[in-house]
């Protein structure tokens, strides 16, 4: 029963009855491939949250024995004819109303998935093992790429049945794991979406190897570990040296890779000790964090961290708390790696070498299934797809240099496949740096931006995004997010908190070269 068809001309009470019937009718068996709809109910409008009434459908998709992919679709009244897919984070998917809200507020039919397992613990990768020491290939396929794809194809079919007409446009948005899932869609299923927004994408396990070797740098030798107070002093020294390069002293370094401050400047002098200086071992650890780590064959084992990002190292790499002695780079980074690579999250890690780990990664068939690092996105571009990548400039998890490396490679390979100049891809593939922002959100920089509206204008009106306004909750600060390689630069006059006071300028010595060198 198609909702729009049966509601035409009905009075409000009759319309509500028909809407309820159309919604609950989606539970009838056999309507959707490999799918069992477990519930379908109407949810009333919430004016306080600016949400319309919508039909909420929960279902299980089982493409093969052992695969159990949970999905939730929310189909609003006043549908705009479009579809919005939502990505997950860490080890989990996203079935939440919070994740669907940006789409529902605009009238989108929205879709989320648990990526094949019901846990809501973003650090729990136990679902990947079907027995001790053995990775379950079905779970890897679901988590890696299949769940998002089936969420999308089944979701479009559900919307078609409910509304009585097909989806006109489909967009996807996700950050971190969600960013990786977006890239997997672009690379594997180029017809699923018209536009994909992929933030800070964990597109291969070099994010996790980076986590491993960063905590090694601070903990392999106990003398290397910094205190939280020392991290704060390092951050102040970095800002004192590099903050004003963008024309304004505001606590944000807009081009961190152009900052060359050396922690040796803080090395303790003879007879000096304490929080105001660093020992030689600590200087070495900070230098490793800034420069990254490579295996002997040149493979990147740890991407470099941005100068300016230091305050988020405390949780990620320093740790020191009883329940978090080595930081979240151990709980979510190293253990994540060991689940997938070795089937053993508790593998001894302190003395693993870059050559060992990168060699094991290169040989792993599981990792090839999981990764979303194929630079050839020509089929997606050829059919008119738009890819918007973004990354926090201070991200201490997935390094923005890693995303720059993928962007550069994808442009080069795709342009070659299509037989066009690299510059021609700017109308289809764009990258934006969120200056001063940590992983997906947080940090001193403005971390709120309406990327979905930018994508709509791009995909539907041909308005290629050049700058996007970024704001921060409970703060007057706003900045432009500039299309790479441009970065915000204060014009020298005007309100320093106003986005209009900044120009998007390509640095004379762009950090784009740093990405190419690191790759």
pLDDT (mean) for 475-502: 97
Select from 38, 45, 3, 5 the least CA-distant residue to 20. 3
Q: What is the pLDDT of residues 431-440, one digit of tens each?
A: 999 999 999 9
Residue 229: predicted pLDDT: 95
CATH of 170-203+372-519, one of 3.40.50, 3.30.1150, 3.30.70, 2.30.170: 3.40.50
The ranges assigned to domains in the chain are: 23-167, 170-203+372-519, 207-362
Q: HEC string of 32-76?
A: CCCEEEEEEEEECCEHHHCECCEEEEEEEECCCCCCCEEEEEEEE
Report residue 451's pLDDT band, with 50, 70 and 90 as the boundaries.
Answer: very high
- Specify the pairing of strand 429-434 against strand 467-471: unpaired
Q: What is the pLDDT of residue 275?
A: 86
Residue 458: pLDDT band (50, 70, 90) is very high
Q: Looking at residues 479-492, what average pLDDT do you find?
A: 97
The confidence band for 217, taking pLDDT boundaries of 50, 70 and 90, is very high
Mean pLDDT estimate for the chain:
94
Q: Averaged over 172-193, what is the pLDDT?
A: 98
Question: Mean pLDDT, to the nearest integer, of 107-118?
Answer: 98
Q: Are 387 and 196 in contact (CB under 8 A)?
A: yes
Kindly report, residue by residue over 153-170, the tens digit of the pLDDT. 999 999 999 999 999 999
Does the CA dihedral 490-446-207-225 come out positive or negative? positive
Across residues 419-423, what is the average pLDDT? 97
pLDDT tens per residue across span 50-102: 999 999 999 999 999 999 999 999 999 999 999 999 999 999 999 999 999 99
Q: What is the pLDDT of residue 10?
A: 53
CA angle 245, 441, 127 (to 5 degrees): 135
Q: Report pLDDT for 2.
A: 52
């Amino acid at each position: 029963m198609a909702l729009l068809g049966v509601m035409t001309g009905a009075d409000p009470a009759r319309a509500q009855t028909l809407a309820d019937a159309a919604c609950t009718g989606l539970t009838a068996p056999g309507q959707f491939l490999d799918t069992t709809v477990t519930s379908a109910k109407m949810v009333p409008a919430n004016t306080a949250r600016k949400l319309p009434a919508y039909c909420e459908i929960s279902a299980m998709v089982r493409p093969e024995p052992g695969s159990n992919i949970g999905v939730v679709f929310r189909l609003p009244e006043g549908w705009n004819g479009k579809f919005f897919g939502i990505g997950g984070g860490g080890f989990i998917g996203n079935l939440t109303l919070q994740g669907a809200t940006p789409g529902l507020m605009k009238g989108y039919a929205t879709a989320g998935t648990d990526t094949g397992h019901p846990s809501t613990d973003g650090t729990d990768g136990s679902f990947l093992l079907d027995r001790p020491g053995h990775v379950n290939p079905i779970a890897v396929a679901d988590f890696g790429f299949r769940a998002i794809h089936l969420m999308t194809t089944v979701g479009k079919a559900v919307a078609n049945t409910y509304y009585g007409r097909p989806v006109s446009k489909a967009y996807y948005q996700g950050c971190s794991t969600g960013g990786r899932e977006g890239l997997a869609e672009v690379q594997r299923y180029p017809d699923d979406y018209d536009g994909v927004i992929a933030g800070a994408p964990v597109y291969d396990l070099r994010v996790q190897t980076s986590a491993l070797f960063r905590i090694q740098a601070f903990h392999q030798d106990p003398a290397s570990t910094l205190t939280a107070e020392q991290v704060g002093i390092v951050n102040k020294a970095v800002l004192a040296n590099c903050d004003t390069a963008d024309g304004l002293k505001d606590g944000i370094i807009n081009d961190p890779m152009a900052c060359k401050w050396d922690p040796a400047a803080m090395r303790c002098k003879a007879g000096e000790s304490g929080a105001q200086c660093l020992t030689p071992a600590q200087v070495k650890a900070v230098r490793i964090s800034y420069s990254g780590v490579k295996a002997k064959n040149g493979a990147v084992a740890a991407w470099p961290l941005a100068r300016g990002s230091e305050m988020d190292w405390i949780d990620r790499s320093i740790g020191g708390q009883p329940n978090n002695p080595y930081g979240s780079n151990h709980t979510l980074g190293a253990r994540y790696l060991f689940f997938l690579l070795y089937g053993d999250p508790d593998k001894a890690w302190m003395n693993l070498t870059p050559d060992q780990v990168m060699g094991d990664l290169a040989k792993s068939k599981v990792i090839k299934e999981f990764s979303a690092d194929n630079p050839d996105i020509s089929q997606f571009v050829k059919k008119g797809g738009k890819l918007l990548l973004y990354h926090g400039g201070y991200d201490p998890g997935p390094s923005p240099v890693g995303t720059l490396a993928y962007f550069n490679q994808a442009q080069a390979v795709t342009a070659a496949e299509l037989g066009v100049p690299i510059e021609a891809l700017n109308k289809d593939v764009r990258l934006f740096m969120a200056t001063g922002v940590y992983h997906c959100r947080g940090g001193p920089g403005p971390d709120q931006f309406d990327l979905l509206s930018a994508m709509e204008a791009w995909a539907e009106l041909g308005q290629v995004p050049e700058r996007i306004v970024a704001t921060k909750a409970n703060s007057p600060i706003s900045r432009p997010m500039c299309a790479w390689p441009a970065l915000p630069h204060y014009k020298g006059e005007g309100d320093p908190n106003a986005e209009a006071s900044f120009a998007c300028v390509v640095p004379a010595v762009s950090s784009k070269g740093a990405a190419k060198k690191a790759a």
